[in-house]
Chains A and B, each alone.
Chain A
Amino acid sequence: MPLIEAHDLTKRFRLPVKSPGLAGAVKHLLRPRHEEKLAVDGIDLTIEAGESVAYVGPNGAGKSTTVKMLTGIVVPSSGKVRVGGLVPHKRRIENARNIGVVFGQRTQLWWDLPVQESLRLLGDIYEVPEDRFGRNLREVTELLELEPLLRTPARQLSLGQRMRCDLAASLLHGPSVLYLDEPTIGLDVAVKERIRQFIKRVNAEREVTVLLTSHDLADIEGLCSRLVMIDKGRIAFDGPLQEIRERFGRERVIHLILHEAHPGGVAIATDALRDLATVAIDQPEPHRLSVQFDSAHATAGAIAGRLMGVLPVNDLRLDEPSIERIIRQLYEGELRFAEEGAAP
């Protein structure tokens, strides 16, 4: 049985509609108007134990709302949801014992308590038995190098230190699912990498299922093998990260730097490449030219060879698509899954 199962899961919010200014406020008071917002619109999602899934989408796409329904905080408007066999919002407390949650923007620690007292209190709240508490505490302290931080109150920690402590706090009770909401937001590169290594290890060694929402594409590439993308409350893509690369990764770009400014570059190149399947040719600056093409229909060599014959090329560079660029384009609506022909 899958660990997380959602079927036709939907959440509608009622939002007040207010006109601006005092007049609007008074009007709202006399005749309140509301509009329905469909935050999550009938999604189906199945996650097996031990998976590591990136849940991505533009702001307001419905990511957090989904996670809040999975954790039992938000009650779905309709549809079915089960986590570890439990309906989260009906059995919130039991579900809470099996999950760990990290909010990148908000700490789980008690602000004014030394970190170790927060950890101790969480051990009490989750009723972690003595031996398991000792073992888990040692493990996270060592892996996240928390030793020097244990006696510091949470409010005095830097963002990176706090995030390490928050991760420790979310794992003390040995959850089977870990929800990470923007875990590396605002951190510097070195700390981000350290946090990723740790999460990867927890997923691989402890077989903790990870559901990660992030805007940091390096998080996604570094941690997850599966990508679920949500847009306007609906799932736009669900599949292996590798598949994204294969489906959208055929596009390449050759950038040419010309020996001198060459105003008619585009026309010359278009003419030279007439019978090759190019997607777009662009001349951002008089001495630069870029050619976008589909690697299934043309080779970089053929294109470069022809252009070097007609233009004074000094230097050239080939861009391969990164997951980052693909996802960014998906966000911005530049790529469409449907147009690709392949059924998702």
Chain B
Amino acid sequence: MSDGALAAPMRLRPRPKYLALALTSVQRAVAYRGTTLLNLLSSLIWVAMLYYLWRTVFAEGARIEGFAWWEMRTYILVSYAVNALLSFYSLARMTNAIRTGEVAAELVRPVDYLGAQLAQAFGAAVVEGALSSGIALLLGVLLLGISPPASPLAALLFFASVWLGFLVKFLVGYLVALLCFWTKNAIGLIWAQTALVNLFSGALIPLAFFPEWLRALALATPFSGIVYTPASIYLGRLDGLGALGAMGMQVLWAGALWLLARLLWGPSVRALDVQGG
């Protein structure tokens, strides 16, 4: 058989493996753009609900905890775009692999599990992020009149902060997935995690609206770095040292969770349940 018989010539030179995993994930997200888009659009219903709910609350030019209506509607769209980066499906994929034992097939390959999961989640997030930002921008500019980032610097910091938030959200999801090595109830874990993240990240309600004690609690969790920090930077409510401090917290949390994930890996694998003698 001649080389020419391989109809589509294949690349022979290897790519760095984590890059290859991330690119494959991009490719799959694009291949399933119908599904991806549908997910994003269905969560838009949520956005619409929040939008009309808050519009009623903000009627008659009210200000709540320093938020004006134009800020609130911007917050809603920005938090939607940010939260869409790591979809429910990316999270469910990790827990499912462990619950069904598919993880075994991944463990016989020479890849670091955490690294491989991050690469794949990142690849999907690039596509999901581009799409959700596109939708938010389109809707925001055309229909809802949302404002641009507070300043060019805020835009830059916002971008960095979004990806730090992504990393934190990913690590929380990864740690929850590790719990599946022990409990086999993945769905319950994912729901609990989604509820916690939605509440404490500020995806549902800006943390500024919380009572003092609850806000302090939320800010002390890693979750506030997922939505509240980037959205506040976007709006210019966090700037200068405040913004850098909040991003420092994101970095610290990402580091701590990464470390925790590393520490828990050994005991988790030891708990790996293998069915069938």
Contacts and interface: CB of A to CB of B under 8 A. Distances in A.
A68 B24 contact: no
Nearest to A153: B31
B276 interface: yes
Contacts, number: 119
Report, as a range, how many residues of chain B touch the other chain.
Answer: 35 or more
A93 B110 contact: yes
Interface in A81-131: 92-94, 96-97, 99, 101, 103, 106-108, 110, 112-113, 116-117, 119-131
B272 A151 contact: no
A59 B17 CA distance: 37
A138 B12 CA distance: 11
Given A93-B111, A103-B104, A106-B104, 14 more contacts: A72-B108, A74-B272, A74-B274, A92-B107, A106-B105, A112-B31, A116-B6, A119-B10, A120-B10, A124-B17, A125-B110, A130-B14, A133-B12, A137-B10
Contact of B6 (A74, A75, A122, A150): A150
B270 A75 contact: yes
A62 B149 CA distance: 61
Report, as a range, how many residues of chain A touch the other chain.
Answer: 35 or more
Contacts of B263: none
29 contacts: A13-B274, A59-B277, A63-B277, A64-B277, A68-B274, A72-B108, A73-B104, A73-B272, A73-B274, A74-B272, A75-B270, A93-B111, A110-B28, A113-B28, A116-B6, A119-B10, A124-B14, A124-B16, A125-B20, A125-B109, A127-B110, A128-B14, A133-B14, A137-B12, A138-B6, A147-B1, A147-B5, A150-B6, A150-B8
Nearest to B269: A75
Contacts of B65: none
Contact of B277 (A60, A94, A138, A142): A60
A73 B111 CA distance: 13
B176 to A, nearest CB: 21
A240 interface: no
Given A68-B104, A97-B110, A124-B17, A151 B274 contact: no
B110 A96 contact: yes
A260 to B, nearest CB: 50
A165 interface: no
A264 to B, nearest CB: 47
B8 A151 contact: yes
A141 interface: yes
A211 interface: no
Contacts of A71: 107-108
A339 B247 CA distance: 74
A127 B107 contact: no
Nearest to A98: B110
